[in-house]
Structure 1
């Protein structure tokens, strides 16, 4: 894993990179897909103008904005020699006082799921959170019915620490939201 000045974080198969102006149309498509609105707490479409401003301000660091988004690029896989942007990973609700941050991940295209890219992206971002940002914990909120995400985060050491009852409205029903935390052990802390 590499920690470079331009926040290029990677392993052998994926690269987490900063937003680029060229990402506008892809983000516009993804952010306006109603299928992901339930996991992103979105209720209305987002304009190109707003997304363009978001990209233009993405050079500001997490200490200024309280959040940062990385694009997930899949490195070339034989026989395809191209790099493909397959998703996003977000750090949000950054709290430097209490040394914690929330994380959310999206692998958008079905054909790119179940290949380990989400897990690899989490590995890279967790290392970034603990080694670069020097945080104490990373947390996530997952709908109770999202078994695939629950398994993913549990496989990375996240433990369920809470449940919000009837937290998410889905059509005419309600769903609980689970809280998962990954806490860095005191022996690994650098204060």
Structure 2
């Protein structure tokens, strides 16, 4: 288990799939997260792949009161390259804007650098998800680039943000350009 100041990160179990499914069926959460909803069987397959895989570490985000409020993980871990992609979601909306996401991200980044010995963690976030961008910046991530993708509802800009073991030094000049 990984501990932050407000949260504990614990590996997901099969028992957590139902709660994750409920977050995936929420259109507001889906729009912010940028992934499509999955059915229960798809969740089971996703869980089996992620837990069994050596190249991912997925955790539930738990409060001190014992409630799972989100999920967070490192996917696509490149052991040779020393990097991974961070994904995070606070699925329980009453916990938004209270520092739980920031605490979970900080705890997982610390784990990635100190325990997994990764050198770089990156993430992708919609430019218009201002709350998430601020969270990541407060954790030390910097904007390294921006891409545009076309969706049914129109084009969206996506930031690539990174943090390095040395404290996010890489990408600072790109940060100014990406804004």
Q: SS of 1:119's equivalent?
A: helix
Unaligned residue ranges in structure 2 (runs of 5+): 168-179
Deviation of 1:117 after TM superposition, in Å, equals 0.7
Tell me what 2:79 maps to. 96
Tell me what 1:71 maps to. 60
Cα distance in 1 for residues equivalent to 2:149 and 2:99: 29
Report how many residues are paired.
167
User: Which of 41, 44, 47 is 2:39 aligned to?
Assistant: 47
User: Which of 132, 136, 149 is 1:167 aligned to?
Assistant: 149
CA displacement 1:89-117 (0-9 Å, x = unmatched): 12112111210111121111221111111
Q: SS of 2:52's equivalent?
A: coil
Assess, with a 3 A threshold, how the Cα gap between structure 1 residues 182 and 170 changes in structure 2: closer, same or farther: farther
Q: SS of 2:102's equivalent?
A: helix
Q: TM-score scaled to structure 2, two decimals?
A: 0.84
Unaligned residue ranges in structure 1 (runs of 5+): 1-7, 77-82, 187-191
Residues 102 and 139, structure 2, Cα contact 8 Å, conserved in 1: yes
User: Which of 58, 68, 72 is 1:85 aligned to?
Assistant: 68
Residues 5 and 103, structure 2, Cα contact 8 Å, conserved in 1: no
Tell me what 1:4 maps to. none
RMSD: 2.0
Tell me what 1:110 maps to. 93
Deviation of 1:56 after TM superposition, in Å, equals 4.2
Assess, with a 3 A threshold, how the Cα gap between structure 1 residues 140 and 57 changes in structure 2: closer, same or farther: closer
Deviation of 1:157 after TM superposition, in Å, equals 1.0
Deviation of 1:133 after TM superposition, in Å, equals 0.8
Tell me what 2:26 maps to. 33
Deviation of 1:59 after TM superposition, in Å, equals 4.0
For residues 144-183 of structure 1, the aligned pairs below 5 Å read 144-164=127-147, 166-169=148-151, 171=153, 173-183=154-164
Cα distance in 2 for residues equivalent to 1:93 and 1:56: 15
Moved more, 98-107 or 34-43: 34-43
Cα distance in 1 for residues equivalent to 2:137 and 2:5: 23
